[in-house]
Amino acid sequence: MGAAYFYQLTETPLEAALPQLLARALGAGWRIAVRGQSVAFLEGLDQRLWLGPEEGFLPHGIAGGAHDAEQPVLLTTSQEAPNGAVCVMAVEAADVTADEAKALERVCVIFDGADQAALDHARGQWKALTDAGCEAQYWAQDGGRWVKKAEKTAS
The answer to whether 77 and 65 are in contact (CB under 8 A) is no
pLDDT tens column, 34-83 = 999 999 999 999 988 887 666 667 889 999 989 999 999 999 999 998 99
What is the per-residue pLDDT for 2? Answer: 83
Strand partners, 89: 34, 108
CB 108 within 8 A of CB 76: no
**pLDDT higher than threshold 70 for residue 155:** no
DSSP letters along 30-41, please? --EEEE-S-HHH
pLDDT, one tens digit per residue, over 76-120 is 999 998 999 999 999 999 999 999 999 999 999 999 999 999 999
Amino acid at 50: W
**What's residue 50's pLDDT?**
81
CATH (residue range 3-152): 3.40.50.10110
